[in-house]
């Protein structure tokens, strides 16, 4: 089983969360920043289209690698465009469940 533990901080506190996928993390954060969010996975890359947020354009597109470091850095950069500054960290956990079969 794979789980993601992620944290974000602002000027007030640090917030801890868990998610089942990196896309879930992206959606959770981006849907707070933008009116419309579309994410597609193409091989090992996320194609992201956002609109109705802090950018002047009608929509803006991004392409980032599908890994925890790239996603955290992307979210850190996106947060600098808004009126607040947040920091993000993401860790991937591989959990092996022990099942006792009798």
Render 30-54 in DSSP notation, one character per residue.
Answer: HHHH-SEEEEEEETTEEEEEEESSS
- Per-residue model confidence (pLDDT) at position 13: 93
CB 44 within 8 A of CB 66: yes
Which pair of tokens denotes residue 86? 């947040």
- Per-residue model confidence (pLDDT) at position 102: 62
- Per-residue model confidence (pLDDT) at position 73: 96
CB 55 within 8 A of CB 61: no
Contacts of residue 93, defined as CB under 8 A and 6 or more positions apart, other chains included, come to 2, 3, 4, 5
CB 88 within 8 A of CB 29: yes
What pLDDT digit, counting tens, does each position of 22-74 carry?
A: 999 999 999 988 889 999 999 999 999 998 876 666 888 999 999 999 999 99
- Per-residue model confidence (pLDDT) at position 78: 87
pTM, two decimals, is 0.85
């Amino acid at each position: 089983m794979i789980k993601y533990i992620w944290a974000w901080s602002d000027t007030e506190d640090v917030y801890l969360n868990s998610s089942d996928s990196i896309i879930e993390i992206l959606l959770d954060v981006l849907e707070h920043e933008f009116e419309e969010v579309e994410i597609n996975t193409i091989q090992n890359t996320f194609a992201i289209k956002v609109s109705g947020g802090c950018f002047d354009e009608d929509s803006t597109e991004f392409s980032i690698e599908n890994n925890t470091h790239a996603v955290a850095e992307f979210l850190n950069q996106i947060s600098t465009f808004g009126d607040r500054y947040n920091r993000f960290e993401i860790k991937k956990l591989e959990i092996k469940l022990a099942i006792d079969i009798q």
